Amino acid sequence: MTNQLRIEGRVALVTGGSRGIGRAISVALAQAGATVWVNYQSNAGAAEETVALCEQTGGKARAIHFNVGESAAVDAGISHVIEESGGIDILINNAGISHDGLVIRLKDEDWSRTMRVNLDGAFYCARAVAKTMMKARRGRIVNMSSIVGEMGNPGQVPYVASKAGLIGLTKALAKELASRGITVNAITPGFIDTDMTAALPEKVREQYLQEIPLGRFGSPDEVAQLVLFLASDMSSYITGQVVGINGGLYM
C-alpha cells in the first residue's frame, strides 16, 4: 500500500516559512516529497536556514521573498513560483503577526497592519493560486487561524478579529472551490513554542500552562504534522473545517 501522506511531485508554498511553525511545516512537506517554496518577509538568513533543513531531509526547497500584505508583490511572487515549478498544489497561509494591547491604546495602524498581513495576505495568496489549482482540478489550501479566533482573548482585538476572519474566508472559499477538487481548511493552534509566544510575559505563560489540560505548550512539529495531513491525499473528504490543535485548551 502506498503511503498517502507522501506528497511526491507536489509544489507547496508556505508563507512565513522562515521561522517557527512555518519552518516546521516547510520541513515536514519537503520530507514528505513536495518541492517547497519558503516565503519570508524580512529574514532572508532564517529562510535560507529553513531551505537547508528541508534539504537535509532529502527534500527540495527554495526561498522566496514577498510581503503577503502587498497585493502586487504577492501576484508577482506567486507568478514566479508558477513559472518555475509549473503550478502550485498546496498553499499554506501561515504568515502572521500580532500587535497586542488594550483596545483603548491601540492605534489605527496596529489594526490595519495586523489585518493586512493576517487576513488580506491570506486573501491575496489564495486568489493568486486559485486559477492554477482550478486548472489542475486539485489543490490544498490550509489557513493558519488561531484558538483565539474561536474563543477571543483580551488585549488582542486586531489579532483575534483577523484570525476569526480567516475562518469565514476558509468556509466561503471551500464552498467556492470544492467542485474543482480543491479543499480549504483552517487550523486553530493553541499555544505553540515559537518566537511569537516567547514574547509573552512569563506570568501569562504560566497562567496558560495551568489551563491547558495536556499541561504543556505544543511544538511547531506537532502543528506541522496536522498541516501535512490536510495537505495530503489522506484528507480528501475534509473541506471547510476548522481543526483545533491546542492540548485541550478549547473544546
Q: Give the Cα separation of 38 and 65 in Å (integer).
A: 8
Percent of the chain that is helix, strand, coil (3-state, to 5): 50, 15, 30
Q: How far is CA 162 from CA 25, 157, 198, 212, in A?
A: 21, 9, 21, 23
Q: Closest CB to ligand NAP among 7 and 95?
A: 95
Interacting residue with ligand NAP among 82, 97, 212, 234 (CB under 6 A): 97
- Which range binds ligand NAP by CB under 6 A, 40-48, 81-89, 202-210, 228-236? 40-48
Residue 158 contacts ligand NAP per CB under 6 A: no
Interacting residue with ligand NAP among 68, 125, 126, 167 (CB under 6 A): 68
**Distant-in-sequence, close-in-space partners of 234: CB < 8 Å, separation ≥ 6:** 4, 5
Q: Closest CB to ligand NAP among 14 and 130?
A: 14
Q: Closest CB to ligand NAP among 39 and 170?
A: 39
Strand partners, 242: 186
Residue 94 contacts ligand NAP per CB under 6 A: yes
Residues 40, 124, 159, 250: which is the catalytic one?
Answer: 159
**Distant-in-sequence, close-in-space partners of 39: CB < 8 Å, separation ≥ 6:** 13, 14, 15, 16, 17, 18, 22, 47, 63, 64, 65, 66, 68, 77, 95
Residue 59 contacts ligand NAP per CB under 6 A: no
- Strands across the sheet with 182-189, in order? 60-65, 35-40, 11-14, 90-93, 139-144, 182-189, 242-245
Helix (H, G, I), strand (E, B) or coil at 35: strand
Residue 69 contacts ligand NAP per CB under 6 A: yes
Contacts of ligand NAP in 197-236 (CB under 6 A): 197
Residue 18 contacts ligand NAP per CB under 6 A: yes
Nearest-Å Rg of the Cα atoms of the chain is 17
Q: Give the Cα separation of 48 and 61 in Å (integer).
A: 9
Residue 139 contacts ligand NAP per CB under 6 A: no
Residue 124 contacts ligand NAP per CB under 6 A: no
Active site annotation includes 208: no
Residue 39 contacts ligand NAP per CB under 6 A: yes
For the bound state, the minimum distance from the C-beta of residue 53 to ligand NAP, rounded and expressed in Å, comes to 13
Burial of 65 (0-12, 13-18, 19+ CB in 10 A): middle
Residue 40 contacts ligand NAP per CB under 6 A: yes
- Which range binds ligand NAP by CB under 6 A, 11-19, 102-110, 133-141, 206-214? 11-19
The site for ligand NAP (CB under 6 A) is made up of 15-16, 18-22, 39-43, 46, 67-69, 94-97, 117, 144, 146, 189, 191-192, 194-197
Q: Which residues are catalytic?
A: 159
